[in-house]
Amino acid sequence: MDMFSSYRLVKVEGGYDLELYIHNPGMNDAEFAEEFGRIDPDNRQRLNRNILDFIAEKFPETRIRMVKVLVGSLVLASFFYTAPIKAQAAAGTGTQAQAAQDAQREANYDYSARISINGQLQSFDSKPFFYNYTTYVNLYEFGQKIGASVWWNNSSNTVGINKNGVQIAFMRGSSIARVNGRQVSMPRSLVVNGVTYAPLKFIAENLGYEVTLDSATNTVMVNKKADQAVNTGVYTVVAGDTLWSIAKRYNTTVDSLKELNNLTSDMIYPGQKLNLHRTHMVKSGDSLWRLAQQYGISVDDIKKANNIKSDMILVGQTLIIPGAGAQVPAPSPGKPSPVTSWPDVTYIVQPGDTASSIAKKFGVSQQDIMRYNYKDPDEWFNAGEKIAISGYAPRTYTVTPGQDKAPARKGALVEWYNEGKHLIKRNNTFTVVDVETGRQFKAVMIGGYNHADIEPATRADTEIMKELFGEWRWSPRAVVVYINGMNIAASLSGMPHGADTVTDNGVNGMFDLYLKGSTSHSSSTSKVYIQEHANMVLKAAGF
């Protein structure tokens, strides 16, 4: 152990910080620190082994929290230390051994981690922690704080987080994830008391954030990356990107990207430069007004994209033309034509499937898969769900957004599979009106594919709901869902069960919401219960 000239233990909450003073070979501290920074990876690994051997020899029973390597007063390196898990033969076998291992692992969690997102220090109900030089956060809470969608599938033990066209999924406890369908390695996810903790840096960086650590305050800073592509009109492809995800992120279309970049297929590769917009070199006679007319956009759009303050442009000047070639045609008046039958090719979604993996399986584009099934970019498919591959899924149009001005005690009969599930979507917040009393409360749709699974939005909403039912019970009530200016006949049961995702609403679990034609997620559910819902839906429609 000649590498270290001395050491010092500093008492801290929950253990000790170990300061290791490295042997100085005669140069001044600043010069040595500069040389230390040039150590190659192999020598760094040997240094790490020396540190671990030193701790094992000197402090086998001491709770070491952080290690700092110093020369003089200069800190050369610092990291959080996690003791290796030792074999525990006395702990028994099977579940006993696993429980003992889990307990020892949890004892090594360092809960001093502080998380800052875009400059704001965050508060978590489930405290973040450091483990194995990695910061872990409750995946659901972190997703809420950055405005991402978080999902899970109990049958496949799979969880995921989606934002801005990026979809990350992994099995709980796994060190393998899929980013937009591409398999990648990540620090192993952890399950603590039934809660999924994910490696913060891996999740955040794949969703477009930068992650840095302020070791002086144990603050992990998560900040949105500056998006140069918005200003330059040129995007550099990174791993996991698809034309579809880039198009959605920058409000354009796959066809426009292919046209602008002379692409003949959907294949792109990391490092590739893609033009997001057309450019125009100003010639004699051009004006902002004429260019706006030529490209079908507004003068203000051109000025904003090019940071122009006046209407003056110069011959030879190159202008970004935002959105050119990517305009979405306005919908035609009246309701769209219904689709009455399934296309020739359909598919039952399997656990772990993504839009990308399904598209690859059938040799079609991800964009078509989403379009044929009326999905928004940040939505995903449920295991067991039937989807369309070669054309549009059946779709009816009984109601139209904006047709109703206020919540009512009577709603339209809307078939769940062909219409309702496209109107009431995951993470939607809407008003529930009790038909019998007229009382209202807010609810959030958290999932479900045979019917909607919902939760009251707040504690006050839970209190209203509980007063309506008297006590929590399965027997449903006739209700009307008011969402996006539409009143839809529905039926709501009053028994909390299963997953709980809305925090601090005063109840643990979700509730069943049925529309016309809805059924249970389980084949063992009583037919009487399903019929009770059907009767309440008819009552809510005025029958």
Q: What is the DSSP letter of 322?
A: T
Tokens of 126: 């489930």
pLDDT at 228: 65
Q: What is the CATH number of domain 114-224?
A: 3.30.457.10
Q: List, run by run, the mean pLDDT of 10-residue segments along the chain (543 residues).
A: 72 76 61 55 64 77 78 69 46 47 63 88 91 90 91 85 87 89 88 89 90 84 73 73 77 79 82 80 79 74 80 81 47 63 90 85 83 77 86 90 91 94 89 96 89 93 94 95 94 90 87 95 89 96 94
Contact criterion met (CB below 8 Å) for 347 and 358: yes
pLDDT at 453: 92
Q: What is the DSSP letter of 393?
A: P
Convert the pLDDT of each residue in 386-420 to its tens digit: 999 988 899 999 998 888 989 999 999 999 999 99
**318: helix, strand or coil:** strand
Mean of the per-residue pLDDT values for the chain? 81
Q: How far apart are CA 236 and CA 224, in angstroms?
A: 17
pLDDT at 13: 66
Contact criterion met (CB below 8 Å) for 431 and 460: no
Tokens of 59: 């402090």
pLDDT at 501: 82
Domain ranges in the chain?
Answer: 4-80, 114-224, 416-540
**CA 194 to centroid of chain Cα atoms:** 19
pLDDT at 146: 92
Contact criterion met (CB below 8 Å) for 274 and 246: yes
The closest of 465, 519, 514 to 489, measured between CA atoms, is: 514
Q: How far apart are CA 485 and CA 400, in angstroms?
A: 8
Strand partners, 511: 454
